[in-house]
Amino acid sequence: MFDGDTPLTLDEGIALCAQCHVEYVCGNSPIDGIDRDYFPWARHYGNDAKCFARHMPKVTRTGDSTQFTSHWLASPLKYLTPEPAATFAATFGVEVDSEGLISPCASCHGGKQSQRKSKAERIQDDTYADALAVESALVTSLSAIKTAKDALATGQAVDPVLLESAIEDHRAAHVRWENLVVSENSMGFHNPTEVEDERMTALGLAQSATASATAGTNCAAGCAPAAGVVPDGFQVPGVPLTVTRHSTGELEFNWSASCVSGDTDFAIYEGTLGSFTSHAPASCTTGGATTSILQPGSGNRYYLVLPHNGVWEGSHGYRGDGSLRPRGASVCYPQAVGTCG
């Protein structure tokens, strides 16, 4: 308990704010299984920056240069805006810098604080626009699910497995979009990388929900059995995927057949190394071949090969801890992972 006399540690200072500014799912999160009590703040936390030091910065009184903690608990962007910063400064008799600002960021960043403000606003604007794209995808998936349910209610044949898959994907997409993107209190600024990863995962799930609901509505009873996985030499026995770079810069991929005999084709996904939910289809078919040549994208990339049967696509493979690797921002087919054999 804070007694008012002992300075707060970094974690105590953050917890003081985080007791209210939390995820909707605290503790062990059912979304991703991570045990967290509040949203992690990435770079600022890693650099020992307390929340209140940025939202309640030290200010200097005009005349006697006395420093005290501002009790205007506000976004740092308000301190970095000439108005209302000027009104606050005039009302309480505190100094502003050469740009007419009170900067909560200068002690670490220095330089032109207006540039810092522009960068923060750019992150927030991009996050907001991207969140709207996910919202649109959620509306589309909800419409597709309603169409499937309406068809079922009128006696039309609707694949129940596909419909249930669509509902589950929509729910998973919605909870990520609402809890981890638009409700984390900073519109992406506190942790842009995590917000972007969750946003892309939500987008992929929403698109998968639309694909499943649409396929189920047009499929009658039972489109196809679930798909399998390409051998990785670890969780799934067999010769794993290999990649060879040609002198032309192209990449040659070779892999083994799916562990499920009914899988007749393959999709190749490409992502940005380090952002392991960024994978998106580079090709949705190889014509059934277990080899393919592609021109890689720029930068450091990673690749996944998935089997599919024209209705379902299988597993994206396994993480080091044995859990299934999540889907990315877009998909070739809705996912249903069957049992190898």
What SS3 string covers the chain? CCCCCCCCCHHHHHHHHHCCCCCCCCEECCCCCCEECCCCCHHHHHCCCCHHHHHCCEEEECCCCCEEECCCCCCHHHHCCHHHHHHHHHHHCECCCCCCCCCCCCCCCCCCHHHHHHHHHHHHHHHHHHHHHHHHHHHHHHHHHHHHHHHHHCCCCCCHHHHHHHHHHHHHHHHHHHHHHHCCCCCCCCCHHHHHHHHHHHHHHHHHHHHHHHHHHCCCCCCCCCECCCCCCCCCCCCCCEEEECCCCCEEEECCCCCCCCCCEEEEEEEECCCCCCCEEEECCCCCCCEEEECCCCCCEEEEEEEECCCCECCCCECCCCCECCCCCCCCCCECECCCC
CB 82 within 8 A of CB 103: no
State the CATH architecture for 115-217: Up-down Bundle (1.20)
Whole-number pLDDT of residue 321: 75
- Please name which of 227, 252, 253 lies closest in space to residue 240, comparing C-alpha atoms: 253
Q: What is the pLDDT of residues 206-260, one digit of tens each?
A: 998 998 898 888 765 455 678 899 998 888 888 899 999 999 999 999 999 999 9
Q: What is the pLDDT of residues 189-205, one digit of tens each?
A: 888 888 888 899 899 99
Q: What is the pLDDT of residues 29-41, one digit of tens each?
A: 555 565 554 555 5
Cα distances (Å, whole numbers) of residue 38 to 18, 25, 30, 35: 6, 9, 14, 9
Domain ranges within the chain, ordered by starting residue: 10-110, 115-217, 224-341
Whole-number pLDDT of residue 25: 46
Q: What is the band of 328 on the pLDDT scale with cuts at 50, 70, 90?
A: confident
- Residue 18: pLDDT above 70? no
Whole-number pLDDT of residue 88: 93
Whole-number pLDDT of residue 20: 65
Task: Specify the residue for token string 């804070």.
Answer: 2
Q: What is the pLDDT of residues 250-298, one digit of tens each?
A: 999 999 999 998 899 999 999 999 888 889 999 999 999 999 999 999 9
pLDDT over 90 percentage in the chain: 40
Q: What is the mean pLDDT of residues 321-326?
A: 79
Q: What is the mean pLDDT of residues 130-148?
A: 96
Whole-number pLDDT of residue 218: 73
Q: What is the band of 44 on the pLDDT scale with cuts at 50, 70, 90?
A: confident
- Residue 101: pLDDT above 60? yes
What is the pLDDT of the chain when averaged over all its residues? 84
CA distance 332 to 341: 24
Q: What is the largest CA-CA distance in the chain?
A: 82
- Range among 17-21, 65-69, 150-154 rated most confident: 65-69
What CATH number should be reported for the domain whose range is 224-341? 2.60.40.10
